């Protein structure tokens, strides 16, 4: 990465114009995410942490300010370019798992790379990542509806990692899981981080945040 941070926010603001008045979701935020970091973003609901995560994930662009992903400025990129970045450089893990119900576990995992890679290679890679998540081989052909919450989240993490992303973004990854399963999932994420994966995670649970090595607090769109 020749010293370049994974992610750099430079004076980033996001304003949502609403009929009742503008809503400032992010207010002149500057931050840097270095390679190998594990960051927890904490804050009350409505504080702007989701907006922050969406911008890190190239789902949204700032109203003012600049965002650099591995040195590349993304705030003026076209939808297609942003989509390509999400596909190749970012991994997303959601609270609701968000697996595609029509696809089997293995197919869900290979989805991001099958868009660019041959099917055989994608499948090989998907199975490799699923095994890393300690998911039983017998479950690979199951549809999400046939899997437990913990199993679904393992599949979702496998999907987020299958493209070997620069940055893994997690939005309340344990929010829909019981504490035991949640702990297992957090252990997986911590393991990934130890092996060098950069992770940014939104959570409001201090126990979960404790896995991170740095915590960013956000209130009313400002870092504190």
Partner 1 sequence: MIFLDLAVRNLKRHKVRSVLATVGIIIGVIAIASLGIMGSSLSVLFGGLVSDVSDTVLVTPHLAASSGDPFDPRNTLAARISERNLGLIEKAAGQHRVIPMILASDRLQVRDVGGYVTMYAMPAGDIPFLLENEAGIYPQGRSSGVMVGSLLADELDLHPGSRIEVGGESVRVMGIAAERGLGIDINPDYALIVTEDWYTERHGDQDYSRVVVKVSDLSEIESVKAAIDQQINRRKEVVDVLDSREILEIYYETSDAINIFLLGIGAVSLLVASVSILNVMIISVTERTAEIGLMRSIGAQRREVLFMFLYESLILGIAGSLVGGIASIAVGYYVSTSVAEFLTDFAVSGGGGIPITVVIGYVAFAMAFGTATSIVAGFYPAWKAAHLNPIEALRYE
Residue 13 or 215: which CB sits closer to partner 1?
13
Residue 110 or 211: which CB sits closer to partner 1?
110
List interacting residues with partner 1 (CB under 8 A): 54, 57, 59-60, 79-80, 83-84, 86-88, 92, 94, 98, 100-103, 107, 111-112, 114-115, 159-160, 163
What is the smallest separation between the CB atom of 59 and partner 1, expressed in angstroms? 5
What distance in Å separates the CA atoms of residue 198 and residue 213, rounded to the nearest whole number?
11
What is the smallest separation between the CB atom of 64 and partner 1, expressed in angstroms? 19
Tell me, letter by letter, the H, E, C secondary structure of 142-163. Answer: CCHHHCCHHHHHHHHHHHHHCC
Residue 114 or 190: which CB sits closer to partner 1?
114
What is the smallest separation between the CB atom of 205 and partner 1, expressed in angstroms? 21
Angle at 94 between CA 74 and CA 56, to 5 degrees: 15
Residue 141 or 207: which CB sits closer to partner 1?
141
Bridge partners of residue 217, in order along the sequence: 42
Bridge partners of residue 23, in order along the sequence: 16
What is the smallest separation between the CB atom of 102 and partner 1, expressed in angstroms? 4
Residue 119 or 194: which CB sits closer to partner 1?
119
Alpha helices in the chain (DSSP H): 49-56, 79-89, 105-114, 119-132, 149-161, 179-194, 206-209
What is the smallest separation between the CB atom of 163 and partner 1, expressed in angstroms? 8
CB 64: neighbour CB atoms within 10 A?
Answer: 12
């Amino acid at each position: 990465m020749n010293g370049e941070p994974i992610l750099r926010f430079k004076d980033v603001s996001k304003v949502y114009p609403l009929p009742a008045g503008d809503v400032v979701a992010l207010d002149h935020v500057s931050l840097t995410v270095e390679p190998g970091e594990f960051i927890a973003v904490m804050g009350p609901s409505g504080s702007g942490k989701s907006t922050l995560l969406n911008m890190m994930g190239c789902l949204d662009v700032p109203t003012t300010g600049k965002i650099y992903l591995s040195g590349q400025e993304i705030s003026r990129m076209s939808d297609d370019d942003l989509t390509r970045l999400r596909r190749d450089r970012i991994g997303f893990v959601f609270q609701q798992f968000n697996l595609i119900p029509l696809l089997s576990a293995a197919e869900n995992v290979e989805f991001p790379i099958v868009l660019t890679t041959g099917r055989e290679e994608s499948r090989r890679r998907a199975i490799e990542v699923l095994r890393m998540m300690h998911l039983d081989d017998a479950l690979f052909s199951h549809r999400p509806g046939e899997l437990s919450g913990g199993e679904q989240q393992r599949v979702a993490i496998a999907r987020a990692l299958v493209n070997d992303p620069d940055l893994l973004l997690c939005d309340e990854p344990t929010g829909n899981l019981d504490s035991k399963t949640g702990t297992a999932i957090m252990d997986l994420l911590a393991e990934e981080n130890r092996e060098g994966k950069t992770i940014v995670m939104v959570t409001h649970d201090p126990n979960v945040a404790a896995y991170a090595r740095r915590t960013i607090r956000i209130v009313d769109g400002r870092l504190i």
